[in-house]
Every structure is written in C-alpha cells, then in structure tokens.
Structure 1
C-alpha cells in the first residue's frame, strides 16, 4: 500500500478507537464482529490479528429489522426482534466455540433510527452481556471507507455502502461524507414499490448534496447487496474469474446492466436469488447503483469485499500488518506458513528484479512470496494447484489483472510449458504481453530454486548476466559450477527460451 493510503486509512480509523470505552485494544488472537444491519445480521471471525487476519467464519441471518422503514420514525416489530435476538445468541455461541478472544457488536441504521432500537440493544446486554455499539451515520461512513481504502489502495472517487436502511457515501479526495436514510428497504417504501422511481429519488438526494457530483473517479461499492449485482453480471456475461473483489464495470456498462434489471430484462433465478427476499430487493440495489453511476464524474464501479466490518477490525486492533499493504501482508504470511519463508522469497525477488525492470514491484515480490506454498503437493499437480490457490486466494489489494498474473507466474515456477486449457480460464483478462511477463518471472524464479533449493541465502554467490544480444550467462563458485548440474542448465535454458519470445 502506498504511504498516503495508509495515512488516510489510519486518519479515518483513529477517531473511532475504541467503539466502546470498556472494549480494550485487541493485539492478538481471533476477533469476532457481529454486524446488526437493517437487512441481515452477520457474524465474521478473523484469524489472529497479530498476523494476517484471515476471515475464518462468515455467517448471515436475514432478519430485515428495517422492514417498513421510510425516513420517519418507525418501530421494529416484536417478531423481528425475537429473530434478531436468537441469531445473536447463536453467533455468540459460534464465536465462543471458534475461540474468539473478543466479540465486537455494532448496529447500524435500523437500530439507531427505530423508536425501540436502544431498548432492543439494552435488552440484549442484560440477556447476554454483549454491548451493542449503535454507531451513527458518520462512524458508519468512515468505518466503511477504512475497509474499502485498505482493500483497493488505488481507489479514488466515492466509497458507497448500501445497506437495508441507509446509504453511506465518502469522498476519498475531499474527505466529505454523508449518511442518507435511503437503503434498499427504505427506497422500497418511499417509492411505493417502484424501482424506477426509487432510482430517481436517490439520485435527486445525492445530486442535492452537491459534492458527490464533483467527485472524480470510481464508485467503490461495498455491501452484500452491491456484490450481488457483481455476481449477477459475472453470470450474465460468462466472466471467467469468480472473484468479486475489485470486479469492475465501466459507467456505460453498469448503467445498461442496471437498466436491464430495472426493466426485468435480467433473470433473477440464478446465484443468490433463490430466496424470495433477495429477489424482491435486487431491483432496488440496481436502482441505487444506477443513481450513483449517473453522477457526472463517476467513471466506473469497483466492487469491494472489505467494508464496514473490516473497518471495525482495523479501528480496534493495535498494529495489524494488513494496513501497510494487504497484498504483501497476505503473501508474506502465506510464505511463512506454507513456503520456505518470506525472507527467502524476497531474496529471490531482489535477484530476478534487474531482468524485469518494467514489472510492478508489488506483483514481482508477491509472486515470489506465493511461489513455494505448494511444495508439499504431488509434483504432477503442483503447478495446477498453485495456479488455483493463487487465483482464488482470499486476499485483496490486487485487481483481476494482477491476480491472474500472479497465478500464471506461480504456475510457471513449477511448469515451464504453457497450458492452453489454463489460459482459456483467464481469456480476456490478460494481454499477450502480461502472459509473457508472467512466464518470464516463473522461469527466473525456477532458476533461483535450483541455485538455492533450501532458501538459505546462497543467491548472492551467483551472478546472472545478459549481453547485448540477449544471451544469458551464469557465474558462481567454482566448486558449484564444476558440478555442471543438468538441473541448473535446464532452468537457464528455459530462461533463455522465454526471453527470446516476444
């Protein structure tokens, strides 16, 4: 992550430490977050936050506490309170059994605006001992922005979090924010069950704020409702990657797709549309995205999997390594857990770097860090397993081009020959030049593994050079070179061959 982005994330998060005075800072161990939203209640449990905080559990119960909520006062009905209470008690049991050291609970729009919202939270505290922090609209917008800014480091424009009862908007440039009581359930009520009217209602409210129209860049969309649109579009167009994070739609493409949903031209029988409640709110999700993409300076929408709950996580922990650079933090942790160690991988990256001057340094380092995580696999399956694990890894701060290039580079560390079936899986994601760059890095790293198979730091004894005609030569200790290793010769020839291409 670039330095200024880390500063932005911490500036947003610091005033929110800690959500409750009785909640101590969390420095290590598993952390659970319960998010009591207007549509659903969700539990996430994060792995030891002293390292990379993997999400190890993610459960959701649809309760719709905000059902019937417009812009005035409303009351959560007793049946929904009972369902919510039961869900939270279940989540507390799950968190305990998952060995979470601490549980943080937040409630958003429905609970904070309901006449009986505070009574509900107090009853929960008396019954379970859980303190529910009812966050205001500002905190909700800022926490959501923390999660988004950390997970998409190069994002500029508006971060938007669409929930059941509200829409939070944050401008990454001006730092202005707003919380509008216009989530999907609210829009459904206010529009009289008319999604087209809902889009106009929301656009007018956002337009009247003034500053969102001037926010240049993308719409960074977070929340499960927005991600459902991304998933639906992937299915509709047959997109090869099933990765929601940082899936992008251009402005025109996004508006057209939302229009198709609003006019019932898209089937809602696939993906998560099996349940009636999801099908009913999908047009209002499309209405919200349509309104946002109509903003003058919006260029595209980028869907993010990090949001409010990750913002809560980062605001509560001491010094989580993911905040510095999520991609490198994930890759380094992975290398230490399952590879030959991050130090050895970074030495590989430094050794091959001079021969790939145009390569993105983060991509190059991350590929080296991820390159050895499959060494315990059967040799015949190693390359393919590496590709699948890297392509589908649960990391962020890498767009789909970077992710596919990482997967392909790691594949070629273990297999020199290209695979047509594998390339078909990422067809349209990478250019021929990017594919070649990934192959070259794979060949170079494979050579380093022959020179220093134990990752003990032997690479500084070797010098790889390339002359003006593009010919590679290797120099090393005389005792090593005297062995005339066929493995080293093979790897050096593979480097030569792949650099002769293009």
Structure 2
C-alpha cells in the first residue's frame, strides 16, 4: 500500500475501537491515535434477533466520529470490520447499508473463522511462541484456535461471550453457584461437537481481548507488579481461580473500585472469567499467557503486508521497527557495533567465569542494535533514555525480565549505576542476572569503543587471548585507529574485572 496512514475500526460486541497506524518516511510503523467507545451491541438485541434502532444510531455516531479522527490525520485508507453482534443480527444488512449511507464507511462483517484468523495473526506476530491454544472472549462470541509450529491448525467460533452470558445468567454482575453451573452447562452444550478441543493437552492457553487483559491488570495491581505491561504476562490456573472467587460475589457498584479493574469491564468480568476457566479445564492447558495484541493488530498486518502478513522473526521485526523509529544514531555505526559485539561474544562466551544462558546471544544482539536510541531524546544522556525507551516500548519476542536485561545491557555504564537503574525491577530478575548484565554490558562497551570514530575503520577483527590479554588485531582500510585504541585502553580495567582479560587493540604484524 502507498498510503502512509491506515485506520482500523473494530466493531466488537462489547466495544468499538479505532487504531490509526502510521508508516514513517524510513519504513517504521507505529500507532499515532486510538479510541475506544463502550457499545454493548450484543446486549441490545431484541426478541426478533435485531439490533435495536437506537443502538444503530449510536453506532453511526461513533463511526462518524472515528471517520473525522481519521480525516484529521489524513488517513489514506480505513478498514472497518464487525464481529459477532452484527454478524448474528437479523438486520445486519440494514446496519451495513445505513453505516455506508450515513457515515460513508464500508463494513466487512467477519465470519467467526476470519475473526479467529486475524486474532491469531495479531498474536503470532507479537509473541515468540511455537504452539498453543488461542482464546478470544468477546461480548457475543468466543473464538478458539489451535496452532502448531506458529501455524494455525484449526479454529472455531462459539456464540457465547461475556456480555450475552452476563445478560442471561448474571445478577448485577455476580454469578451464584446455580448460575455458574448453568453457564458452564451452556458452554459444554455449545462446544460438544468439537471433539478436537480435548486432543492436545499440555499446551498454554493464550488469551487476547478484554477479559484476559482485565484479569492480568487485576493480578498485577494486587501483586504490585513492577513492569508496566500486560502483554506476555503469565498467570497460573490457581491464581486465576483465586481472583475469580474474589470477584464473583461482589456486585458491580462495589466491583468498580476493585484495584486494576476498569469500570466498563466490571459488570461482565465474572462471566468472562467463567468462560475462560471452563475452556482452560476442557483444553487441559498448562497456564495462561496474556497477549496484548489481537484482532486490530492482525488486520493491520493483513492490510499492510498482504503478501506475507506473518512475521517469521518476531523479535527481529520488533527491533528493526524500534530502531527505525529512533534513527538519530548513524545506521552504519550501529550495524558495525552489532557485528563486532556478536563476534566478540562468539569468541568470549565459552571463556566466561559464569556460564551464560542460551538466550544471552539474543539479548546482546538486541541491546547492541538499540543501545543509542535514547539519543532521539538527548544525546548527552542517551544511555538513561535508551533504558527507558527499551523498557517502555513494545519489544515483542522478549519476556518482561528479558526486556529489563536488554535495557540494562544497552545502557551499561558500571555496576553501581546498574544497581540504581534496575532497583524497581529487582523482583523480576534472578540472582545471576546482575552478572549477566555486567558481562554483556562490558562486552558491548568494548564493541562501541572499537568504532568510536563511527567510521567503520575496522574491516576485519582477529581475536586471540593469551596470558590474561585479549588481543584484538584489526585489519583496516588505512584509517588510523588512535581514537579506538585510546578508548579500548580506557575501558581495559573495567573489562578485565568482568572477563579477567585485558583488551589490547593493534594492527596485524606482517
């Protein structure tokens, strides 16, 4: 697509959302605007299965509002889709026609299978998982998908959701034992023909949508969790059951004040969790994993990259996108630092006093690609700002712990400063992480020193070690290495403390 900006509108059964995506001049993508309006469309169906006229009027008002926001941003293309509430409405054709006539927007009414496919695409492009079940509990439907080797195997959509189940069975948002039993019986009856749901036990259950995000926010608020992100957050079944039983008897007006729970989710969270728990048991899953991306993200990838919407390397794409969003650092220099850092790692990692984990190379690869993005805020304090940007950006493909590790490696300037930097995240880190950060952070500093002039003078580097010395023989294009040599010498004491080797940069002897 040639358009620089793209609007995605998701007309869900519970809420209507807008996301405006921008492609920057150098090819990065980011969300520049977004909006959410509660709609509860699935709770506004009359006895004949028709969406009520006043709700259609409200929908048209929201669509006009979103169209104006997109116009303000000079959005080149708007893609609007509708899910269960409109899909199942007896007057769906009338709704689509009125929105086109009165708001000027064409609505794609997604089938349950299409909804599941786009949800899967949003998830698989933002989480580094190879297999599992994906669940999306909406207001009027629930989609379940099985994927293996990052490929969708099977999916199904059921006409049960947190809004319609609350409407039928909940009393002021609460579920009595009898109502809970009826809800689970309804789910069991609805899914009885899908025998394949029980065929692959022992996989994670990955949740997208408001119910699972609300669960994670409640759990994080209760635990005073240090990391400001629900995406890629793990919750055990026992913890989910505990929170469900805490929330179940509380009426909506009091539940509004429950820490971490948004008001527009308070009356339907219990029914949503009841559905979630039932499927967890049915699938014999191992744990819950929260995905912050979903249908809108999948629609973005499908629209922007129609020939290859699925990313093979989640972390690689995310790193490239983040670096392109902060292009102040010279790209040739960043590539040189990354190349040298990975060469040093390959040689030095077997020699480390502490055995480095298998993922350490990915941490260093990521950190060396992003170490100077903070210069987009302020060059003189770029290390501090790089730490903040890495921790607070959607760096997909890393766990929360790994994001802190990468941020600390990228901005490493010594152990004392490191302790201050990671203090608020210590509960996420393991005992050995301080040493991992020190080893990899010092190694990255050496790679940076080897291109201090940012001229990529070192074409090839030969690395040897003997008698406590790390000999770095540089083949150059004739450029002097006086600055690089001085930088390596200045770093040598700290490097020796970490690696028990003193680096020395020289030209080869011929």
Place the TM-score, normalised by the shorter chain, in its bin: 0.7 to 0.9
Contact between 1:32 and 1:43, CA under 8 Å: does it hold in 2?
Answer: yes
Tell me how far apart the structure 2 counterparts of residues 28 and 439 of structure 1 sit (CA, whole Å): 44
- Cα deviation 1:314-351 (Å, max 9, x = unaligned): 22234578824232223223334233325334323433
1:379 Cα deviation (Å)? 6.5
1:396 corresponds to which residue?
A: 396
Please, which moves more after superposition, 167-176 or 330-339? 330-339
Q: Any unmatched runs of 5+ in structure 1?
A: 1-25
More off after superposition, 375-384 vs 207-216 = 375-384
Q: 1:214 and 2:204 equivalent?
A: no
8 A contact 1:408–1:435 mirrored in 2: no
| Change in 2 beyond 3 A, CA 1:113/1:477 | closer
1:244 partnered with 2:230: yes
- Following TM superposition, where does structure 1 have runs of at least 4 consecutive aligned residues deviating by more than 6 angstroms? 481-484
Change (3 A) 1:401 1:466: farther
Query: Does the alignment pair 1:258 with 2:244?
Result: yes
Q: 1:483 to 1:125 in 2, by over 3 A?
A: closer
Answering whether residue 324 of structure 2 is matched by residue 348 of structure 1, we say no
- Which of 132, 136, 141 is residue 157 of structure 1 equivalent to? 132
Comparing 195-204 and 28-37, the one that deviates more: 195-204
Give distance in 1, aligned partners of 2:454 and 2:370.
14
Match of 1:411 in 2: 411
Deviation at 1:463, TM superposition (A): 3.8
Task: Tell me the residue number matched to 2:504.
Answer: none
Question: After superposition, where does 1:411-430 map in structure 2 within 5 Å?
Answer: 411-412=411-412, 414-415=413-414, 417-430=416-429
CA deviations on 1:105-154 (whole Å, 9 max, x unpaired) are 10000001112222111111122331100011111111111111121131
How far is 1:58 from its partner?
1.7
> Which protein has greater RCO, CA pairs closer than 8 Å, 6+ apart?
1
- After TM superposition, the structure 1 = structure 2 runs for residues 276-355 of structure 1, keeping only pairs within 5 Å, are 277-318=264-305, 323-336=311-324, 337-341=327-331, 343-354=335-346, 355=348
Tell me whether 359-368 or 314-323 shows the greater mean CA deviation.
314-323
Residues 250/465 of structure 1: CA separation in 2 closer, same or farther (3 Å cut):
farther
Aligned residues: 472
Paired residue secondary structure (1:86): helix
Native 8 Å contact 2:220 2:260 kept in 1: no
Question: Which has more radius of gyration?
Answer: 2
- CA separation in 1, counterparts of 2:93 and 2:341? 54
Q: Distance in 2 between matches of 1:155 and 1:191?
A: 37
Q: Bigger shift: 367-376 or 329-338? A: 329-338
- The residue number in structure 2 matching 1:61 is 37
- CA distance, structure 2, for counterparts of residue 29 and residue 434 of structure 1: 41
Change (3 A) 1:95 1:270: farther
Corresponding residue of 1:233:
219
**1:189 counterpart (154, 159, 167):** 167
Give me the whole-angstrom Cα distance separating, in 2, the residues matched to 1:408 and 1:270.
34
Are residues 286 and 338 of structure 1, via their aligned partners in 2, closer, same or farther at CA, if it must alter by over 3 Å? farther
Alpha-carbon distance in 2 for matches of 1:367, 1:199: 47
Q: Distance in 2 between matches of 1:459 and 1:39?
A: 58
1:107, 1:134 within 8 Å by CA — same for their partners in 2? yes
Distance 1:423 1:79, change over 3 A: same
Report if the CA contact (8 A) 2:214-2:265 is conserved: no
RMSD, matched Cα: 3.0
Tell me the alpha carbon deviations over residues 401-455 of structure 1, each in whole angstroms, 9 at most, x when there is no partner. 321221121121x455443343332223222333322222221111122220254
Task: Output the CA distance in 1 between the equivalents of 2:53 and 2:165.
Answer: 23
Per-residue deviation, 1:268? 4.6
Cα gap change, 1:483/1:322 in structure 2, threshold over 3 Å: closer, same or farther? same
Q: 1:157 to 1:274 in 2, by over 3 A?
A: closer
- TM-score, L = length of structure 1: 0.85
Distance 1:192 1:280, change over 3 A: closer
Tell me whether 1:269 sits opposite 2:284 in the alignment.
no
Alpha-carbon deviation of 1:91? 0.6
